Structure 1
Amino acid sequence: MASKSKFIDYIDEALEKSKETALSRLFFTHRGIPYPITMCTSETFQALDTFEAKSDDIVLASYPKCGSNWILHITSELIFAESKKKYEYPEFPILECGDPEKYQRMKQFPSPRILATHLHYDKLPGSIFKNKAKILVIFQNPKDTAVSFFHFHNDVPDIPSYGSWDEFFRQFMKGQVSWGSYFDFAINWNKHLDDENVQLLLYEDLKKNLAAGIKQIAEFFGFSLTGEQIQTISAQSTFHAMQAKSQETHRAVGPFLFRKGEVGVWKNLNSEPGNGCKIQRVLSRHFPRSKAEV
Structure 2
Amino acid sequence: MEKSRKTLADILNEAMVAANTMDRDKLLFSYKGILYPATFCSPEVFRAMDSLEARSDDIILAGYPKSGTNWLGQILNDLVAIFGKKAQDKESSMNYEEMQEFPYLEMGDTGKYERMNKSPCRRVIVTHLLPENLPSSIFRNKAKILLLIRNPKDVATSFYHFSNGMSHLPSYETWDDFFIAFMTKKMPWGCYFEYLSKWNKYADDENVMTITYEELKENPVLGVKNIAAFFGVSLTEKELQSVVERSSFQSMKKNSLKTHGKHGDVFFRKGGVNDWKNLFSGDQNKKMDKAFEERIKGTKLGTKLKYEVYCKA
TM-score with structure 2 setting the length? 0.87
- Identify the residue that residue 213 of structure 1 maps to in structure 2: 223
Secondary structure at 1:199 match in 2: strand
- Tell me, in whole angstroms, the C-alpha distance in 2 between the residues paired with 1:59 and 1:279: 34
- Identify the residue that residue 12 of structure 1 maps to in structure 2: 13
- Tell me, in whole angstroms, the C-alpha distance in 1 between the residues paired with 2:138 and 2:171: 35
Secondary structure at 1:49 match in 2: helix
* Pairs within 5 Å for 1:27-46: 27-46=28-47
Secondary structure at 1:107 match in 2: helix
After superposition, the C-alpha distances for 1:222-280 in whole angstroms (9 at most, x for unaligned) are 101122211121111111111111111110111110100000000022xxxxx343342
Number of residue-to-residue matches in the alignment: 289
Q: Which moved more, 1:214-223 or 1:81-90?
A: 81-90
Using the TM superposition, give the Cα deviation of residue 42 of structure 1 relative to its aligned residue in structure 2, in angstroms.
0.4
Given that 2:19 and 2:167 are in contact with CA atoms closer than 8 Å, whether structure 1 keeps it comes out as: no
Does 1:79 pair with 2:84? no
- Tell me, in whole angstroms, the C-alpha distance in 1 between the residues paired with 2:65 and 2:142: 24
Q: Which moved more, 1:10-19 or 1:124-133?
A: 10-19
Q: Which moved more, 1:79-88 or 1:11-20?
A: 79-88
* Pairs within 5 Å for 1:162-201: 162-201=172-211
Given that 2:62 and 2:128 are in contact with CA atoms closer than 8 Å, whether structure 1 keeps it comes out as: yes
- Identify the residue that residue 291 of structure 2 maps to in structure 1: 286
Given that 1:247 and 1:254 are in contact with CA atoms closer than 8 Å, whether structure 2 keeps it comes out as: yes
C-alpha change, 1:42 and 1:158, in structure 2 (3 Å) is closer
- Identify the residue that residue 88 of structure 2 maps to in structure 1: none
Does 1:91 pair with 2:101? yes
- Identify the residue that residue 61 of structure 2 maps to in structure 1: 60
TM-score with structure 1 setting the length? 0.93
Q: CA RMSD in A?
A: 1.8
- Tell me, in whole angstroms, the C-alpha distance in 2 between the residues paired with 1:165 and 1:142: 15
Q: Which amino acid aligns with 2:291?
A: H
- Identify the residue that residue 160 of structure 2 maps to in structure 1: 150
Using the TM superposition, give the Cα deviation of residue 214 of structure 1 relative to its aligned residue in structure 2, in angstroms.
0.3
Structure 1: state its 5+ residue gaps. 270-274
- Identify the residue that residue 110 of structure 1 maps to in structure 2: 120
C-alpha change, 1:169 and 1:257, in structure 2 (3 Å) is same
Q: Percent identity?
A: 44
Using the TM superposition, give the Cα deviation of residue 8 of structure 1 relative to its aligned residue in structure 2, in angstroms.
2.1
